Amino acid sequence: MIEMSLKELKRAEVLGKMESQGLTNEQVAQILGVSKRQVQRWEKRLREGGIAGLRHGNRGKPSGNRKEEEFRQRVVSRYRERYGDFGPTFASEQLAKEGLEVDHETLRRWLLEEGIWARKKRRKPYRSRRKRRACFGELVQFDGSPHDWFEGRRSACCLMVMVDDATGITYARFSEQETSAAAMQLLWGWVEQYGIPMSLYCDLKNGYKTLREPTLEEQLAGKEPKTAFERACDKLGVQIVSAYSPQAKGRVERRNGILQDRLVKELRLAGICTIEEANRYLWETFLPQFNERFAVEAEDSQDVHVRCTKETKLKEIFCFEANRVVQNDYTIYYERQVLQIKNDKGFLPRPKQKVLVRKYLDETISLFHENRELKYERVTPARRTKQRAG
């Protein structure tokens, strides 16, 4: 028995009268309320397949609406299970990796209807956005973002971030804290990857710029006090521009917000718990994909970074420097250590002269006098013993 709807049975009856009563296509179309072209299609199907040819082609098959509803439930269920605190855009990207491709606006609508996502209503004071610089490397914004990046899997730490003003290209590195050493490590990484930028836009902080007044000795010598980071930038020819508010360096602040959302969740999904693993993941996986998605073309295609020459020794630039006075026994004191200078083929600074101490980012130390490196060894100072009165 052929299962047909009442509408299909009526259609078969009227089409059957075309031959018996001589109805035209126009008359049948008017009776059924369809176009003449549709009547011709039905007539052909009736002629080729009999009355069964008039059945709807999708009869007995799952409806498209049911398929969509099943897919929707799979997506929503997976979102609840794994991506509950992800925004719709980021969640749609992650779901696509699992083969569940859904447009982020469709996902947003589904989540709103399910009551598991709410639009964020934020009214911020109006600020016009500063125009981007024209060239890549003309100005790079620089900041540290202390945060619980590992969501309790380890202690909170700081993500040091650089964002090019013209393109939005981002480079980052995890460190324990926002320090001069962390800032130099970050800039070193940028220089190795892209070259030396023209200027840096960063906070007015002690780690970046000296805030104290010069000492009397510095005034007499005509020198300005500088941090190790400032000295490194001077040697590279990089100008430091101070930002007096977070809004002034808005691009890197906004980038920090995106990273605190996306990167935190990516680290969670990857099961990463250490700074070493996180930095490797940043450089090898996250940042290439992040820049491909968020970076833009510069207004001017010229790259104004300066490439390092073979003579550029970044280790000698990114370091801490201090002067120390040579004692009568040819020792110097540095960070609670006693360093004994060795006689190297007659080259030896005299007592009361100063030597330059360089402490590198890997914690090693070198001594210099008249631009020549000195040999030395660490010695243990003799302990003073109290003599009993007797």
What is the arithmetic mean of pLDDT over 256-270?
Answer: 91
- Say how many residues make up the chain: 390
Residue 177 DSSP class: S
pTM of the model: 0.68
85 and 264 Cβ atoms separated by less than 8 Å: no
Strand (E) positions, the chain? Answer: 140-147, 157-164, 170-175, 199-203, 239-243, 319-325, 331-334, 337-341, 354-360, 365-369, 372-374, 376-379
Give the pLDDT band of residue 124 (cuts 50, 70, 90): low
What is the arithmetic mean of pLDDT over 161-175?
Answer: 95
pLDDT at 325 over 50: yes
CA distance between the termini of the chain: 126
Q: Which long-range contacts (C-beta less than 8 Å, at least 24 apart) are formed by 355-360?
A: 355/323, 355/324, 355/326, 356/321, 356/322, 356/323, 357/321, 357/322, 357/323, 357/324, 357/332, 358/316, 358/319, 358/320, 358/321, 359/319, 359/320, 359/321, 359/322, 359/334, 359/335, 360/315, 360/318, 360/319
pLDDT at 259 over 80: yes
CATH superfamily ID and name for 140-294: Ribonuclease H-like superfamily/Ribonuclease H (3.30.420.10)
pLDDT at 149 over 90: yes
Give the pLDDT band of residue 117 (cuts 50, 70, 90): confident
173 and 301 Cβ atoms separated by less than 8 Å: no
Q: pLDDT tens digits, residue range 19-50?
A: 677 778 787 777 777 787 887 887 777 777 67
